[in-house]
Amino acid sequence: MAKLTEEQRLQRAAKRALRSALDSEADDQRRRERDERWKREGTHLSWAEHMAGEPCRGCGQPMQDGLGSWPPLMKLSESEKREYEEADRRFRQRHADCRDARWTISGSRVTHCCFCCPSPPMGPKQIEDLSKLFASWPSREERKKALDTWNLNLRCDHVVPHIQHREQSYVSARVVDCPECGERRGVVSSERVGPAYNDDGTIRERAAADRERLAQELAAAEAKLARQQKNTAATQRRITEIQEMLRNDS
């Protein structure tokens, strides 16, 4: 099989990225429709309903069965293994088309689907702990110093800015709002631009970020052109060699 050229590898990578962006858009649309249905139908349980033992409104299974968590798989008895495998089989049968992960509540063996079943509501203690955590965060002005801007290249070929913490080495968002299209679009690629805010706390101008991005694109394009010119020169030399050999043979 012939070895792919650099250009062919880049083309294949671009096609894979585009397919991934389209798949992400479809999954995002599916989840937004589900969330709207949950809101319309009141699928989420309140804390009082949860404490009263109301079943999950997504799958109808109990939220808590009181049987205790499953032991580690390596420590299951033979009867527990059969019970576990049967529970797993029933779960897969109920959620054959959900394409998502699972969740359980500590102290329970009932497994719920991350797509079908809303997570359990937070209790007063969890809300109190979160409030304390938020209260201990640095001020908004301090947090700005640790934020970077990224440029997201979308499936529609538009580029939108995205701000996140500097410690994050990649953008996890797969679908974002495109202000130019007015639609949710899949992210094809992303690149870090630099600090999102100036020293005085004001947001950096988009034009400066765009200039930096364009400079990077220009450098990459120039490097690609140099490689292509080198390959062209090598091909031309080979053509000349073959022509000379043909003339000598004649």
The tens digit of pLDDT for each residue in 97-112 reads 998 999 999 999 999 9
The residues with which 151 forms a beta bridge, in sequence order, are 161, 191
Euclidean distance between CA atoms 46 and 87, whole angstroms: 27
Per-residue model confidence as pLDDT tens digits over 75-101: 999 999 999 999 999 999 999 999 899
Instruction: Decide: 206 and 214 in contact? Cβ < 8 Å.
Output: no
Euclidean distance between CA atoms 98 and 116, whole angstroms: 7
Confidence of residue 129 (pLDDT cuts 50, 70, 90): very high
Half-sphere exposure of residue 120: CA atoms within 13 angstroms, side-chain side: 26
Token pair in block for residue 49: 């309903």
Confidence of residue 199 (pLDDT cuts 50, 70, 90): confident
Instruction: Decide: 109 and 67 in contact? Cβ < 8 Å.
Output: yes
In the numeric block, the tokens 């205790």 are attached to: 68
| DSSP single-letter state for residue 150 | E
Q: Give the neighbor-by-neighbor strand order of the sheet with 183-195.
A: 159-165, 147-154, 183-195, 175-178
Euclidean distance between CA atoms 112 and 95, whole angstroms: 9
pLDDT on residue 56: 95
Instruction: Decide: 87 and 65 in contact? Cβ < 8 Å.
Output: no
pLDDT on residue 205: 64
Closest to 86 (Cα-Cα) out of 107, 67, 109: 109
pLDDT on residue 118: 95
Residues 6 or more apart in contact with residue 172 via CB below 8 angstroms: none
Euclidean distance between CA atoms 176 and 160, whole angstroms: 9
Q: What average pLDDT does this structure show over 122-141?
A: 90
